[in-house]
Amino acid sequence: MPQRVVILGAGFAGTAVARALERRARPGEVSVTLVNRENYTLFTPMLPEVSSGAIEPRHIAPPLRALLHKSQFEMGEVESVDLEQCAVVVRNKKAARSSRLPYDHLVIALGAITSTHGVPGADSHTFPLKTMDDAIAQRNETIRSLEAAATLDDDRERRAFLTFVVVGGGFTGVEAAGELLGFLRSAARFYPRVERDDVRVVLVAGGPRLLPQLPQSLGDGAAKMLAQRGVEVVLNDDAAAVDAAGSRSRQAGATNPKRSFGAPALRHHRSSPTSTSSTPSTTRSWSIRICRYRIGRACGRWVTARRFPNPVGISTRRRRNTRCVKRRCWRAISWRRCAVAPRSRSHIKRSA
């Protein structure tokens, strides 16, 4: 009888586990069921490009049924997990019914949720950037702000509608600020009343520099490039409160003097690892969290780098010429996703 494996979550971790079991398991050895609330897997690092219209949503949301060849897929939300009976209850809202999935091994890869870190008003007056719906909602709100600004004669009110605040100096915040400014300036030429200088994008980071996951030189270079393009970079500060009148930083006070329908403040999502302290050690449950700075794809094989001081596990002096796992090709390092593995085979272990 095949071992029943139920995987909760179809992000990077859940999808990688399902595909790895398909490749490595013998015929009839395992039966894999993947559970997710959507029928696609989302490549979240490119959500800012979707919100700016640089790419279409379908480009970063491949359907799961097309990716999986041997595994079964169950669309729905997890209602409960019975660790004693080894079963998961999944509910499909459209069909208004619940199904019970027994398992021998349970893989928990549900990811994390957006955190506002207790900033007053952030839940109701900001736009997160975590899901496909968030990216589309952000784009629609940006277009509505442009249309509203085009109807105003007062320069101050028009600029208030075209002022956007991005909170977070990590990868998502930096990319969202750049994409947002590019989209606004490219669309402004279709609005006669909107000038190029009316658009204002403010990037607020709580640390002393941008991109703290990367070396100092790369963070400083990103800040310099954003400043040259017109993004206002505010360091060593953070959002103190957000309301309908705008966002207020802890040091500078009001950052975005806009009207209630004005520009949104986009918050940068910060993920927390999945906690496993409440899972009994006697059950066959596995909690997985894949760090996107330590996992990559080289020559079609997934590899996982060990923990190093550098987020991608290699020295900065060798980042331009790093060989892949099979030592057959040379590729440039992608600092966001660690596109290849380190040169030395002793620094990696295969996970698929």
**Cβ(60)–Cβ(51) below 8 Å:** no
**Cβ(134)–Cβ(47) below 8 Å:** yes
Q: Is 74 part of the annotated catalytic residue set?
A: no
Cα 264 to its chain centre, rounded Å, is 19
Place of tokens 């957000």: 242
Dist. CA 202–CA 98, nearest whole Å: 46
The catalytically annotated residue of 79, 175, 179, 195 is 175
Dist. CA 186–CA 60, nearest whole Å: 23
In this structure, the strands spanning 239-243 and 246-249 are antiparallel
Instruction: For residue 165, give both structure tokens.
Output: 């605040």
Q: Annotated active-site positions, please? A: 175
